[in-house]
Amino acid sequence: MSINGTRISVVHDELGPIYVYQNRTSRILSFDGIVEQSCMRIHEPNELIHKYTQAMMTGLIFTPNVHTVTIMGLGAGSMAKSLLHGIEDIRIHAIEYRQEVINTAKKYFFLPDDNRLQLHICDAVGYMRTSPQKSDIIFSDLYNSRGMEPRQLQMSYLKNCRKTLSNQGVLVLNLWHQDFQSEYEIEDLLSHEFNERVLSFPVEGGNTIVLAFKNSVPDINRNELLKRAKKIQEQMNTPIEKYAKLLWSQQLHKFGTL
């Protein structure tokens, strides 16, 4: 597999290369020159392109009054840009270990200087252990050139994420579903910290999105779920409705209502 585009930048740090490719419509970030880590349409820089990033926005359905968001793993800044563009009253803490990734996001992917966005250059696991602020949503998308960062599912990391969530907060995890036999295996891994307060659904492309709630899964019916999804879809210009329908079809037995 090769990336569709011409390489326009490569920088190196102690963890390896950071590539940027460009084709007629898009720019692509890659850590190995083979797999896309992030993608941006040049003329629609705030649009979410990858399906898993679109699907992760389902977390907003359950936090209609979101104020503070933490993004674990900046990449090219796709989620941060989309949230800044779509939600005026938001504060975002983005955690990224590699300074060169931040530099690349700013130089090639139009990551803005915005006083609502605070960038933290540090290890995600260490940051979550000492984080002072509460988050309504934590988006955890920790990947490197070898695939999913295994510490994303360490018990200590999950415990600290749960501790850092606001009372009605939700942890949104992007997992590579080929690492698991079934949704039950995923839920077993999360059960210690989140008990039965977990929703999950697969996304085209090999990812599984997990929503883990600090407290109970919201008691919501299908009509209200889709109504909220439609509102967010219009606000974010991201196809949330189809993922809400997928989530309901996969997990309706957990909502406690029809």
- Domain presence at residue 104: yes
CATH number of the structural domain spanning residue 169: 3.40.50.150
pLDDT category at 35 given cuts 50, 70, 90 is confident
Radius of gyration of the chain (CA): 17
Give the separation between CA 169 and CA 11, rounded to whole angstroms.
37
pLDDT at 82 over 70: yes
pLDDT interval class at 11 (50, 70, 90) = very high
Domain range enclosing 215: 45-254
Q: What is the Cα–Cα distance from 132 to 127, expressed in whole angstroms?
A: 9
Q: What percent of the chain has pLDDT over 70?
A: 91
Could you tell me if residue 32 is inside a domain? no
67: left (phi over 0), alpha (psi -120 to 50) or beta: alpha
Residue 81: the pLDDT is 98
Q: Does 180 reside within a domain? A: yes
Contacts of 16 (CB under 8 A, 6+ apart): 31, 32, 145
Question: Is 237 part of any domain?
Answer: yes
Residue 38 placed within a domain: no
At residue 38 the predicted structure's pLDDT band, cuts being 50, 70 and 90, is very high
Report pLDDT digits (tens) over 99-142.
999 999 999 999 999 999 999 999 988 999 998 889 999 999 88
Please name the residue that has the structure tokens 């936090």: 63
Q: Which residue has better confidence, 178 or 129?
A: 129
What is the reported pLDDT for 176? Answer: 75
**Residue 3 resides in a domain:** no
d(CA 252, CA 238): 23
Helix (H, G, I), strand (E, B) or coil at 138: strand
What integer pLDDT is reported at residue 184 of this predicted model? 63
Residue 137 within a domain: yes
DSSP 161-190: HHHHEEEEEEEEEEEEGGG-SSHHHHHHHH
Distance CA 201, CA 249 (A): 9
Domain count, the chain: 1
Q: Render pLDDT for 179-238 as a digit per residue (tens, 0 to 9).
A: 554 556 677 778 778 888 999 898 988 888 999 999 988 888 999 999 999 999 999 999
Whether 242 maps to a domain, the answer reads yes
Kind plus residue range of the DSSP H or E element containing 28: strand 26-30
